[in-house]
Each structure stands twice: as C-alpha cells, then as structure tokens.
Homo-oligomer: A and B are copies of this chain.
Amino acid sequence: MPSYRAPVKDWLFILHDLLHVEALRHLPGFAELTPDLTVAVIEAAAKFHEEVLHPINQSADAEGARFTDGQVRTPAGYREAWAAYRAAKWHCLSLAESLGGGGLPPVMSVPVSEMRAATGHSFSMYSSFCTPAASMLAALAPDWIRTHVVPRLSAGDWTATMGMTEPQAGTDLRQITTRATPQADGTWRINGRKIFISGGDHDLTDNIIHIVLAKVPDDDGRLPAGLSSVNVFLVSKRMIDPSTGALGERNGVYARSIEHKMGIEGSATCALDFEDAVAWRIAGAEGRGTAANMAPMFHLMNYARVGTAVSGIGYAEIARQNAADYARERRSGRAASASRASTDSADPIIAHADVRRLLLESAAFAEGARAGALRAALLQSIAQLEPEEAKREAAADMLEILTPVMKAFFTDRGFDAAVACQQVFGGHGYIKDYGVEQFVRNVRVAQIYEGANGIQAADLVHRKLFAHGGRPWRNFAGAIAGFIDRHRDDAALDRYTVPLDEALRRLDRVVASLRTTDPAQGGYAEVASYDVLTAVGIVYLGWIWAEVVAVVTGGAECQFLDENMRARKLVLADVWMQRQLPLVDSLCRRIESGNSGLLSIPAELI
C-alpha cells in the first residue's frame, strides 16, 4: 500500500514566508490567518487525510462503486469516513460561516483539496459540489431554498451534483435536449437524460440536490437550437416541503447505470433519467438573457476547475513521495554520478541521475504549482474583497489567465509526474501492489473532466488573453516583468531572472502575434492554443520559482524554512529553470510555424 505524508511545512512556508498572507489582514476573514490558526487547521486536515481517507483509498477503488437494484452502493468505509469528514467540515471549509461553513478564506481550502485528491479522489467526488452549490444557491435561489437547502449542504446532510452532460452534448451545451416545462404553481417538470454525473446517486446521505441544465421550450413546444433557452434548475432526489424543509417522497430522478472507468472506480459516475421530475428554476443574478440564465452554472464550473487543478498537484506529491521512498530502498546497478555513496555491490537507485531526474522534475512541478495555486487563491480573495478597485481588477485579470492555465497545465503535469514516478518502480509500478498505477489511472480523468484541457486552451486564447482590450495578458505579463525589474540589480538572482525574462519576452511576442493574425485564418490561434497555454504555465511556475529563490536567499527570516528545505528549494528552482524554461522557445517556434498543413487537410484524410 502506498504511504502519504501531507506536506504541511511547505504550505506554511508558502502562506507565510513566500506569499506573506499577513499582508492581506485588511481583508475580511484574513485577520485570523495567523500561524497559530493556519498550523492548527492544516495539521488537523493532514491528520484526517493521512489517517482516515488514505487507508481506504486503494481498497475503495479496487472494490469500486456498485449499482444494484437501482441504487448505488459506495465502497466499504465510505459511510464512516463521510460521517467524520462532514463533522470536521472539510467539505465546506471556505463556505461562509453564515451559511454553515468553516468561514475561512479560499486559500485555506487549497491544501485540503490537494490532500483530498491524493488520499481520496473517488471519495471526494461525492461531496465536491456541496460548497459551490451552497454558495451559488445562497446567492441566487429563492428564500425557501436558502433556508432549507443551503444548511443541509453545508452540514453534509445532503450532497449536490452538477448535471450538464447528455449523451449527445458534452462541451457544446447548445445541443442539450433535456426539457423543462413550466407548471402553473411556479415549479417546473424536467424530462431527459444526463450522463457522467459524479455522485448522481449514493448511500452516504438521505438526499441529493441536482443542479441541472435544461432547455425551456418556445411557445410551440419546440426546444430552441441555441443556448438562449438553457436554464439552471434544482431537482431534489426526494421532494422537499418548501415551508418546512421536510423530505417527502421520491422525485422523478433515477440512476439507471454507473460507468466502468479507467480509474476513480470508487466514485459512482451515473446516468440519470429525469422523468417529470419536479424542479425549481435558479435564475442568474442580473436579469435575463443567456449570461444571466447560465450564471449559476458558471459559478459551479469555476469552483470545479480550481479544485481539479489542485488535484494534479496532489497526485504529483503522493506519487513522488512513494517513488522516492522506493528509490532510496531499491538497489540496482552502480551509479555513474558523484551522488553514489556506498561501497556495496549495488547503489540505491536514487543515486542514478536518470531516476533523480524523474523524481525532481515531479517535485519541481508539485512544489511550484502548490505555491502557484495558493497565490491564485489569494488573488481570488483580492478580486472580491480588496477595497482598491485597481487592485481588484488586476487580481481578477490574473485569475482570468490562471484559471484555465492551472486547470490544464497542472493536471497535465500531475499526470506526467504520476507516470514518471510509476517509471521509477520499473515492473513493480505496473502491478497493483504498490498502488502507484492507481495514481496514473485516477489523475488521468483530471485532464478530461470539468472542461477537457483542450477546451481550457481555447478558453484562454479566445476569451481570456484579450478580454478588456488585452488587459488580462498585460497585467499577467506585467506582474512578472515587475518582479524581474525589481531584482535587476541582484546578481545572485540572474541565473533565474535572465532566462525567465527571455522566456517571457519570447512568449509575449507570440501572444501578440495571435492577436494580430488575420481572423480569417482563425485556425492559427486555435491550433496555437495548447502550446500557448503550456508556455504560460511554464512561465508562471518560472516566476514562482524565482520568487522562492528571492525569498530563501533574501536574508529575511523565514518562519517555516529549515536548512534542508532551503537546500531542496534551491535545487528544485534550478530543475525548473534548467529543464522547463527552455521549452518555451520550442513551443513558440511551433506556434510561429503556422501549422498550415494541419489546418487544411480534409477531415477524411486524417
């Protein structure tokens, strides 16, 4: 069975020494984020995930969720774990206290999300929409739902799902055919089939709240083709009495099957049939029209993207920990490098340079991305709470870029890290005993769900980079350039800031070319999108690593950095700079090639 040690000190170093969370104490909720509190919360979460979720993680996926007699049964141990989990409020740590949540800033949920992915990905799929649904419903739903549904979600009495995909409609929501028919009493009736609904049915709670997309027919009873008729509805598995909140009989929503998947087999991925299910419409906050209709769903989707991004870090971390432990024990061959220590006939394989490459590239990603994710969570708070408008705007702009980049780049590199660490085990990594192949199969889904990574790249290039006249990219690139400028006279940082500067300028020219290319050649930007996203991700973590070096060598005292961590951070910074930043130029050359043949070849010849 794999082991797991939550990287508690790294989170504390990032929060306090690198990101100086204390500097945000003027924002609501931040004053209490002293080391006393952050240490207590993160250590408690670590204990829980290490001791409660991790021990059942392998067996739960091996057993899998089962579907019998129209009912999903979760794997052994999930019911007990859920009772403890919701009691500790790990599912709603950052939900407002007024709504029954933990009331901590979102940055405190990021470590929990990472641990949850590493130790209980399948388990987490049942509860992952509790917080976003509660928060969305509290903002947009009718009073009785705020009164009787939101507290049940934050208490974990009930869970929530997000129902978008249908057999013929995935990313393209215009194609959904689930129908919402208005009733005289103000409720609606939903008919249709949704698929890929995580936790669409289970035995952990008495009730499940489904947040569902459906189309409202026009006056002739036809479903309009486009997106304008798509609205968001709440469907409760069991009927709720709006005046008392009491649960009544079964509503017309039924699990029909669960999928057999490559991984996360403890999570029940359901096909749900809605058969005259009673529903309530959840309207967007700002009037009518598509954007308003869909606003509740976008609220949920953005939450999901950030959580998914962080799962890539969790897998890189646990895979690297186990592979490093194995590599320190397993002996094979003689290392050519100076790092070999023993006079035994065989060195531990961690002495082999190529094994170190696999482990340290994984670690450089995981620790850089961890800091990158916490920074993004702080930006989220700044974008919402900062009194100064210019700061709010700059933070929001950064997030426009970072949300799709983190979702795709962090899950891509999380997958790569899991594969690399599996490789360290040789044949022992391919068999199930060590549990590392489970990480590879599980993390793979993170590149696919919550908006496939190619969709994130399209979102970045078509909607984010050049929104508001190009302001998000200017703010993003400007923040990095500002850091480089501030350290221009610091010769000790040159080996980090010089290549970072070079990569940023290179990327900036390519981004500009995307904007100026003739839109009639629309494919130029589209085919470039994935390389652009990857290059932005590499540069973002390059910035993070340069900042880490500036902090650990800067002379200011660090509260949570011992000498070993310091030495390690400097090596990981080198690994990122020496091995990742050079890729930016290649990605830019790919983009500049124009990829003409790829765009013009007829579909039947592909």
User: Measuring CB to CB, which residues of chain A are less than 8 angstroms from any residue of chain B?
Assistant: 165, 169-172, 174-175, 195-196, 225-226, 259-263, 269, 324, 327-328, 331-333, 335-339, 341, 345-346, 348, 350-360, 363, 415, 419, 422-423, 426-427, 429-433, 437, 440-441, 444-445, 447-449, 452-454, 457-458, 462, 520-523, 525-527, 529-530, 564, 567-568, 570-572, 574-575, 578-579, 582-583, 585-586, 589-590, 593-606
29 A-B pairs in the complex with CB atoms less than 8 angstroms apart: A169-B332, A170-B426, A172-B331, A172-B332, A174-B345, A196-B427, A225-B345, A261-B431, A328-B606, A337-B527, A341-B603, A354-B529, A356-B527, A360-B601, A363-B606, A419-B444, A423-B452, A426-B452, A430-B449, A441-B441, A568-B601, A571-B605, A574-B597, A574-B598, A575-B598, A578-B595, A579-B595, A585-B586, A586-B586
**Max count, chain B CB within 10 A of own CB: residue among A339, A341, A598:** A598
Q: How many copies does the complex hold?
A: 2
Q: How far is the CA of A203 from the CA of B360 in the complex (A)?
A: 45
Determine chain A's interface SS by DSSP, over half rule: helix
A441 contact set on B, CB distance < 8 A:
262, 441
Q: How far is the CA of A596 from the CA of B527 in the complex (A)?
A: 36
> Does B440 contact A427, Cβ atoms closer than 8 Å?
no
Query: Assuming A260-B431, A356-B606, A423-B454, is B170 touching A332 (CB within 8 A)?
Result: yes
> Does A527 contact B574, Cβ atoms closer than 8 Å?
no
> Does B430 contact A444, Cβ atoms closer than 8 Å?
yes
Measured CB to CB, the nearest residue on chain B to A346 is B172
Measured CB to CB, the nearest residue on chain B to A196 is B427
Q: How far is the CA of A355 from the CA of B455 in the complex (A)?
A: 10
A487 to chain B, nearest CB (A): 20
Assuming A352-B454, A571-B597, A578-B595, what are 15 further A-B pairs, CB within 8 angstroms? A175-B332, A260-B431, A260-B433, A327-B603, A337-B523, A338-B520, A338-B523, A352-B526, A354-B457, A363-B606, A427-B449, A567-B605, A571-B600, A579-B590, A583-B586
A525 to chain B, nearest CB (A): 7
A469 to chain B, nearest CB (A): 20
Q: How far is the CA of A348 from the CA of B602 in the complex (A)?
A: 12
Query: Assuming A431-B259, A596-B574, is B354 touching A527 (CB within 8 A)?
Result: yes
> Does A448 contact B431, Cβ atoms closer than 8 Å?
no
Q: How far is the CA of A170 from the CA of B327 in the complex (A)?
A: 13
> Does A582 contact B574, Cβ atoms closer than 8 Å?
no
> Does A600 contact B338, Cβ atoms closer than 8 Å?
yes
Q: How far is the CA of A263 from the CA of B422 in the complex (A)?
A: 14
Q: How far is the CA of A169 from the CA of B415 in the complex (A)?
A: 28
A197 to chain B, nearest CB (A): 11
> Does B357 contact A530, Cβ atoms closer than 8 Å?
yes
> Does A171 contact B448, Cβ atoms closer than 8 Å?
no
A568 contact set on B, CB distance < 8 A:
601, 605
Q: How far is the CA of A600 from the CA of B341 in the complex (A)?
A: 12
A352 contact set on B, CB distance < 8 A:
454, 526
A91 to chain B, nearest CB (A): 24
Measured CB to CB, the nearest residue on chain B to A579 is B590
A331 contact set on B, CB distance < 8 A:
172, 175
Measured CB to CB, the nearest residue on chain B to A364 is B598
